[in-house]
C-alpha cells in the first residue's frame, strides 16, 4: 500500500465514521452500569435515603396564547423574581421557589444577532426546561415542593458593581411552626449556582427530611444533517454514578426508569455547548431518571435526611450549574462534570489537545492562531515519523522509471510483476508501506481535534481573521476548503504516482472530493488540515531535494 491510496481509505473511513456516530445517537442501547448502584453503599445504607421525588406538575395556570401544554404539563405560574448578574439573567418563581428561566447574555444564538441570547431554562410548555428543588420530609412532617409559596424582599436582584456575590433569600412558613429559608447564591463570572435551604424548627415536634433537586425538560432531538455537523452532538439526559458517566436514551427511560445510589453522583441535561446540572451536596444521594410518552424527562436527586429538633436549625446545601460548558468551571463544580463536554471515545486524546490549545490561546489571544501553532507542535511531534516516511516516498519517486519498465515487461503476468517489484524494493531498501504510517497515526489526532473544535464552547463563534468570523462553523465562502484542496493537489505531485492507471485517475480527483467533503466541516478543522498540508509540502520538498543530492 502506498501513500496515495491511504487518502482514499481515509475519505471512506471519515464517511463511515460520521454515519456511525449518527447511528449511535439514534440507536443507543442503555448501559447496564447506569442502573447499577455505585460501589460502596449496601442495601441497608440505601434504605436510609428517601426515594427520589416523583413530584406533581407545577400548579396549573393560564397557558400562554398559542401554547399547547404537552401531556397536561402546565406552565409555571405565580410571581417571579428577576435575577441579573454579569453572566446570567434568571427567573425564580415564588410558587415553589424554583429556578425556571435562564438566559446567557454573553452567548448569542447567532453571531449576526448579538441581542438575542441563548435561553437555557424556559417555563413555556413548548420548550419546557426548569430546575426544581425542595425538602422531602419523612413521616408526617411538612414537605417543601413546587406548591410551596415563598416571600421575598423585592422583585429584582442585581449583582452590584464591586460585589462578587449575590444572595437571593426566600422564606416560607410550613405547618407545625417550621420556617424554611431558601437562599440562591450567584457569583461574579460564574455559572455555578449555590442553593442553601435552612430549616428553623419553631414547633414542638422534631422535623426530619432531606433536600432534593430535579431537572425537568421536554426532549427536542436535533435533526440529523450532514451539512450541519452540530446535529451530531448529543442532546439529552446524562448521569454520573460516582464511577462512570452515561448518556441516557429517552425511549428507554420511558420504558424503564434508571435508579442508583452513589456518593459524588450528579445528573445533567446537556445540549451542544450548554447544560444544566444538579449536584447534591449530601455525602450520598439517591437518583432517579424517568421519561413519559410526551418526551418530557425528569432527573431527580435526593440526599441523606437530617433531623431538626424543636428550637434548633439545620442547613442543607446543594449546587447547580446553568450555562456554557466551560471546562474549568465544570471541574470546580463537581468531579467529572467536564465529561459533559462530549468528546466521545476520543476523550483521552481530545482533552490533552484542548488543554494545549487553551494554553496557546492564553499566550496569543486568538483561537485561529492557536490552531496554527498547535498544528506546528503536532507536526514537530510526528516529525521523525514523517521524515522516515518522506524519505521512503522520495526513493519511491526516484524508482518510478524502473517500476514503469517492470510494468511494461510483465504486463501480462501480475504475479511476476509483483515479485519483481518486491525484489526492487528489497534491493533499494524501500518500504512502500512506510508512507501510510504517519497518516494512520495522525488520524486519531485529526478526529479528536474535530470534536474539540465542535464541542468546546470556548471556540463557539470565535473569530480568526478576514472572512473567517466563526471557527466552529463552516467557511461561509468556502475559500479555506478550496485552499486546502489546492495544497492537497500539490502534495500529491511531490509523491510518487500510483502504478495502477485507474488508481492514478482516482487520485487526481481526490482533492476535489476532499474539498467538497471539508466544505461543511468547522473552519477551524479545515484550517488545521490546510496548515498541516503546507508543512507537509515544505517537508517533502526538502526531503526530495536531499535525496536527489545524495543520488
Q: What is the pLDDT of residues 392-421, one digit of tens each?
A: 666 666 676 777 777 777 777 778 777 777
Q: What pLDDT is stored for residue 3 in this prediction?
A: 42
Question: For residue 319, is it within any domain?
Answer: yes
Residue 28 lies in a domain: no
Counting residues of the chain whose pLDDT is more than 70, the rounded percentage is: 74
Residue 501 has pLDDT above 70, yes or no: no
* Whole-Å CA distances, 53 to 68, 198, 206, 236, 318: 26, 20, 22, 20, 16
pLDDT(42) > 60: no
Domains contained in the chain, number: 2
Residue 61: pLDDT over 70: no
pLDDT digits (tens, 9 = 90+) for 251-299: 999 999 999 998 999 999 999 999 999 999 988 899 999 999 889 999 9
Contact 134, 300 (CB under 8 A): no
Q: Find the helix or strand (DSSP H, E) in which 3 lies.
A: helix 3-26
Whether 9 has a pLDDT exceeding 50, the answer reads no
287 and 315 in a common domain: yes
Does 151 lie in the same domain as 261?
yes
Give dist(CA 97, CA 152) in Å, integer.
10
For the residues 471-488, what does the mean pLDDT come to?
Answer: 89
Q: Which domain holds residue 425?
A: 3-16+356-550
Q: Are residues 323 and 369 in the same domain?
A: no
**Residue 210 sits in the same domain as residue 271:** yes
In a domain, 64, yes or no: no
pLDDT at residue 541 greater than cutoff 90: no
The answer to whether residues 322 and 394 belong to one domain is no
CATH number of the domain within which 191 lies: 2.70.98.90
Q: What is the pLDDT of residues 163-202, one digit of tens each?
A: 999 999 999 998 888 999 999 999 999 999 999 999 999 9
245 lies in some domain: yes
H helix runs in 383-522, sequence order:
383-398, 400-409, 414-428, 436-455, 479-493, 501-518
Residue 367 has pLDDT above 50, yes or no: yes
Assess if residue 401 is contained within a domain: yes
**158 is a domain residue:** yes
Q: Are residues 48 and 159 in the same domain?
A: yes
Q: Which of 340, 375, 401 is the C-terminal boundary of a domain?
A: 340
Last residue of a domain, one of 286, 315, 340: 340
Q: Mark whether 335 and 360 lie in a shared domain.
A: no
Q: Is the residue at 80 inside a domain?
A: yes
Single residue among 286, 316, 340 that ends a domain in this structure: 340
Cβ atoms within 10 Å, residue 156: 9
308 and 181, same structural domain?
Answer: yes
Indicate whether 198 and 115 sit together in one domain: yes
Residues of the chain by 3-state class (helix, strand, coil), percent to 5: 40, 25, 35
Q: Are residues 332 and 288 in the same domain?
A: yes
Both 140 and 250 in one domain: the answer is: yes
| Residue 107 counted as domain residue | yes
Higher pLDDT, 497 or 71: 497
pLDDT of residue 108: 93
The mean pLDDT value of the chain amounts to 80
Amino acid at each position: 500500500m502506498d501513500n496515495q491510496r491511504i487518502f482514499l481509505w481515509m475519505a471512506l473511513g471519515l464517511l463511515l465514521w460520521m454515519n456511525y456516530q449518527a447511528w449511535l445517537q439514534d440507536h443507543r442501547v442503555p448501559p447496564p452500569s447506569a442502573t447499577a448502584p455505585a460501589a460502596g453503599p449496601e442495601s441497608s445504607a440505601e434504605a436510609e435515603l428517601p426515594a427520589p421525588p416523583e413530584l406533581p406538575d407545577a400548579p396549573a395556570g393560564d397557558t400562554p396564547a398559542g401554547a399547547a401544554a404537552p401531556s397536561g404539563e402546565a406552565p409555571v405560574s405565580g410571581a417571579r423574581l428577576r435575577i441579573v448578574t454579569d453572566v446570567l439573567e434568571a427567573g425564580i418563581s415564588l410558587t415553589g421557589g424554583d429556578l425556571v428561566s435562564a438566559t446567557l447574555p454573553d452567548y448569542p444564538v447567532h453571531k449576526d444577532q448579538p441581542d438575542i441570547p441563548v435561553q437555557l431554562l424556559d417555563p413555556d410548555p413548548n420548550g419546557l426546561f426548569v430546575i426544581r428543588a425542595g425538602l422531602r420530609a419523612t413521616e408526617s412532617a411538612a414537605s417543601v415542593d413546587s406548591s410551596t409559596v415563598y416571600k421575598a424582599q423585592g422583585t429584582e436582584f442585581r449583582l452590584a458593581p464591586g460585589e462578587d456575590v449575590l444572595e437571593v433569600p426566600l422564606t416560607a412558613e410550613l405547618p407545625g411552626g417550621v420556617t424554611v429559608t431558601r437562599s440562591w447564591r450567584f457569583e461574579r463570572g460564574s455559572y455555578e449556582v449555590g442553593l442553601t435551604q435552612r430549616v428553623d424548627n419553631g414547633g414542638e415536634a422534631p422535623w426530619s427530611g432531606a433536600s432534593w433537586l430535579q431537572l425537568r425538560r421536554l426532549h427536542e432531538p436535533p435533526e440529523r444533517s450532514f451539512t450541519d455537523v452540530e446535529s451530531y452532538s448529543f442532546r439529552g439526559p446524562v448521569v454520573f454514578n460516582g464511577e462512570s458517566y452515561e448518556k441516557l436514551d429517552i425511549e428507554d427511560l420511558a420504558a424503564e426508569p434508571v435508579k442508583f445510589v452513589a456518593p459524588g453522583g450528579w445528573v445533567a441535561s446537556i445540549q451542544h455547548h450548554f447544560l444544566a446540572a444538579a449536584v447534591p451536596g449530601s455525602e450520598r444521594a439517591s437518583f432517579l431518571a424517568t421519561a413519559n410518552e410526551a418526551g418530557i424527562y425528569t432527573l431527580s436527586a435526593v440526599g441523606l435526611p437530617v433531623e431538626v429538633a424543636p428550637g434548633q436549625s439545620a442547613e442543607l446545601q446543594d449546587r447547580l450549574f446553568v450555562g456554557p460548558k466551560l471546562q474549568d468551571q465544570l471541574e470546580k463544580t463537581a468531579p467529572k462534570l467536564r465529561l459533559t463536554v462530549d468528546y466521545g471515545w476520543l476523550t483521552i486524546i481530545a482533552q490533552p489537545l484542548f488543554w494545549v490549545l487553551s494554553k496557546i490561546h492564553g499566550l496569543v489571544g486568538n483561537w485561529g492562531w492557536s490552531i496554527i501553532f498547535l498544528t506546528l507542535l503536532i507536526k514537530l511531534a510526528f516529525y521523525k515519523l514523517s521524515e522516515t516516511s518522506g524519505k521512503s516516498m522520495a526513493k519511491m519517486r526516484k524508482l518510478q522509471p524502473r517500476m514503469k519498465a517492470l510494468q511494461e515487461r510483465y504486463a501480462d503476468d501480475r504475479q511476476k510483476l509483483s515479485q519483481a517489484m518486491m525484489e526492487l524494493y528489497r534491493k533499494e531498501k524501500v518500504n512502500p508501506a512506510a508512507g501510510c504510517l504517519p497518516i494512520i497515526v495522525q488520524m486519531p489526532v485529526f478526529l479528536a481535534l474535530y470534536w474539540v473544535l465542535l464541542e468546546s464552547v470556548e471556540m463557539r463563534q470565535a473569530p480568526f481573521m478576514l472572512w473567517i468570523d466563526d471557527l466552529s462553523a463552516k467557511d461561509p465562502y468556502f475559500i479555506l476548503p478550496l485552499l486546502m484542496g489546492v495544497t492537497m493537489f500539490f502534495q500529491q505531485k511531490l509523491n510518487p504516482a500510483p502504478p495502477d492507471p485507474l488508481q492514478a485517475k482516482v487520485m487526481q480527483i481526490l482533492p476535489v472530493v476532499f474539498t467538497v467533503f471539508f466544505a461543511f466541516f468547522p473552519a477551524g478543522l479545515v484550517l488545521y488540515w490546510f496548515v498541516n498540508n503546507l508543512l507537509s509540502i515544505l517537508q517533502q520538498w526538502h526531503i526530495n531535494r536531499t535525496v536527489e543530492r545524495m543520488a
